[in-house]
Every structure is written in C-alpha cells, then in structure tokens.
C-alpha cells in the first residue's frame, strides 16, 4: 500500500514543555486513521503539524512521499488545496452566511456567487441539511448543525485528505452516525484519506481502518480496531473502556496532589 501521509520522528515543544516526543505514523492512501488519547495529549497539535499550521521542532512530514515540513508560503497554499479540515470548534466565519462559509474556497478561486451557492446547497444535502439553511448565519444554527455545515465546507473542494478534529463531539447519537456514515462514504466513493481525532469509541470502531493512541507525547499503540480492542497494554485498555481505575488516572491524581 502507498502511504499518503507519513510522520517521521516529529518533536514539538511549547515554552520548554514537550508535547510531541518522536511521533512516527503512516496513513495509507484511501484509508481512515483514528487518533485517540487523553485531553491535552497533543492530538490537535499533531494534526496542526501535519497540516502545516504548526512547524515541528524536528522530524518530517511527508505527503505523497514529498517532504512538506518546511514549505514556502506559496507551496504551502498549493498543498492546502488538497486538504479539507473540520476544526474542533467548527471555526465558521460568523459574519458570513452558511453558503458563503461552505463555498469560501470556491469564491477564493473566483467562482461566481450563483455557482458557489448551488455547490454549497449540494454539499448541505450531502451532510443532511436542508437548502434553506444556506441563507442563515452560523449563530442561527444549533451546535450539531454548525458541525455539519463545517463538514460541508471541508468537503467543498473535494479534497484528497480530510482531517477531522472530534467530528461527533456534542452531537446526538443519530447525527453522530450520519457523520460516521459520511466519513465512510467519502472514503469508499471518492477514495479520500482521512485522519480523525475522536473521543467517541463507538465512532472510532465504526470508521477506523487503523487506530493510534497518543500518550505523554508518544504513540503507545497502533493497530486495527480488533487489535486495539484486544490490546494487552494496560493504558490503552483503560482508555478505550473509559475506566476510572488504572495507570492513567493514578498519574493524573499524583499530578494533582
């Protein structure tokens, strides 16, 4: 299999505090990689390093085998066109209508407003939202609707790679499953490569081809859903079952005391 994304020995610190400590990860073309790990374990930072929104202190990021770690602004901009991103907080522009938000990339390419609007409405339907939503502002939508609108924006330019930061957090179970099915559909029908951060194990097991757990700046486990479910690593076992007791809580308690 071809690796679409390769993370090689990436380190990242903020103000002397190590967040990523030698991360190695591969995502095969056309597959879905789910990243799990506790709050503050560096999942979003890793995603931002892959996206080029943060620069690693050392190590490399390869996309399609090409080193993209230290690109010039123009090349970075070009690369970003291959990426769709669903941010943790949806990150819609408050002053724009939903169709303007969804079609932002198309507008930047100089497409006409009527074309942008029609594509935006098409993408809204894909994420299960009615066309009249297109004319509302983000503040007029519920959290779940905003998330779906943000997903419609992420897929608007038909990217080859989509990054999802907690796509189902805060959504009701049915809407969550619509998002899960959409992630699977984008992979199966368009061959999209996906990287998904989630705390939602039901969602992780449904969408992942491969799962990786981050803990204290390192990847402590990588495998298929079955392999992760059958792990004998006590940290992974505790995390995926959401148990209060185990090595992870002990350390948090020690830290607080």
Ligand X SMILES: Nc1ncnc2c1ncn2[C@@H]1O[C@H](COP(=O)(O)OP(=O)(O)OP(=O)(O)O)[C@@H](O)[C@H]1O
Among 1, 16, 39, 74, binds ligand X (CB under 6 A): 39
Nearer to ligand X, 41 or 168 (CB): 41
Sign of CA dihedral 166, 172, 235, 17: positive
Pick what 203 binds: Mg ion, ligand X, none; C-beta below 5 to 8 Å, kind-dependent: none
Residue 44 is a binding residue for Mg ion (CB under 5 A): yes
173-178 long-range contacts, CB within 8 A, separation 24+: 175/128, 175/144, 175/148, 176/200, 176/202, 176/203, 177/206, 178/127, 178/128, 178/148
Nearer to Mg ion, 40 or 65 (CB): 40
Residue 159 is a binding residue for ligand X (CB under 6 A): no
Backbone phi and psi for residue 126, each to the nearest 5 degrees, phi listed first: -60, -35
Among 32, 42, 201, 236, binds ligand X (CB under 6 A): 42
CB 37, CB 213: distance < 8 Å: yes
Among 16, 40, 110, 242, binds ligand X (CB under 6 A): 40
Shortest gap between Cβ of 42 and ligand X (angstroms)? 4
Q: Of 186, 212, 184, 209, give the one whose Cα is nearest residue 198.
A: 212
Residue 14 is a binding residue for ligand X (CB under 6 A): yes
Residue 203 is a binding residue for ligand X (CB under 6 A): no
Interface residues with Mg ion (CB under 5 A) are 44
């Amino acid at each position: 299999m071809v690796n679409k994304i390769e993370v090689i020995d990436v380190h990242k610190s903020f103000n002397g505090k190590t967040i990523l400590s030698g991360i190695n990860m591969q995502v095969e073309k056309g597959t879905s990689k789910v990243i799990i790990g506790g709050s503050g374990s560096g999942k979003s930072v890793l995603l931002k390093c892959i996206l080029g929104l943060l620069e690693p202190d050392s190590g490399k990021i390869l996309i399609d085998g090409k080193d993209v770690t230290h690109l010039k602004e123009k090349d970075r901009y070009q690369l970003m066109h291959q990426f769709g991103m669903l941010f943790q907080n949806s990150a819609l522009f408050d002053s724009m209508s939903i169709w303007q938000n969804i079609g932002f990339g198309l507008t930047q390419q100089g497409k006409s407003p009527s074309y942008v609007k029609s594509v935006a409405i098409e993408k809204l339907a894909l994420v299960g939202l009615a066309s009249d939503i297109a004319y509302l502002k983000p503040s007029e939508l519920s959290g779940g609707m905003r998330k779906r609108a943000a997903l419609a924006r992420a897929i608007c330019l038909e990217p080859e790679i989509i990054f999802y930061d907690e796509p189902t957090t805060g959504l009701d179970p049915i809407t969550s499953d619509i998002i899960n099915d959409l992630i699977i559909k984008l992979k199966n029908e368009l061959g999209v490569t996906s990287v998904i951060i989630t705390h939602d194990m039901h969602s992780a097991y449904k969408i992942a081809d491969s799962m990786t757990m981050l803990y204290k700046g390192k990847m402590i486990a990588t495998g298929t859903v079955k392999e992760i479910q059958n792990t004998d690593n006590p940290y992974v076992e505790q995390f995926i079952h959401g148990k209060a007791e185990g090595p992870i809580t002990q350390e948090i308690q020690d830290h607080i005391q």
